[in-house]
């Protein structure tokens, strides 16, 4: 197990051992930091949309360029 994974497991176990009120307090504190909040929301969105189909970024840019040309 890598150091990051090991540390992650420790923090997760510590968080899971807290009462509901304590968990909420920790999460609220995390969300108070604008950069952490943005990171958390980004990660949640990525996790939520993980199964959706995707396409290459270059294809998206070409499509966007074509739409702009037609407009």
Q: How many CB atoms lie within 10 A of CB 23?
A: 13
Give pLDDT tens digits for 20-50: 999 999 999 999 999 999 999 999 999 999 9
Q: How many CB atoms lie within 10 A of CB 40?
A: 14
**50: DSSP letter:** T
Q: Tokens 């290459």 appear where?
A: 56
Q: Is the pLDDT of residue 57 over 90?
A: yes
Q: Is the pLDDT of residue 2 over 90?
A: no
Helix axis angle for 34-48 and 20-32, nearest 10°, is 110
């Amino acid at each position: 197990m890598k150091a990051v994974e090991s540390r992650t497991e420790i923090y997760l176990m510590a968080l899971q051992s807290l009462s509901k009120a304590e968990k909420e307090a920790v999460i609220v504190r995390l969300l108070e930091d604008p950069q952490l909040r943005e990171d958390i929301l980004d990660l949640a969105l990525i996790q939520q949309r993980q199964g959706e189909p995707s396409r290459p970024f270059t294809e998206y840019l070409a499509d966007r360029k074509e739409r702009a040309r037609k407009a």
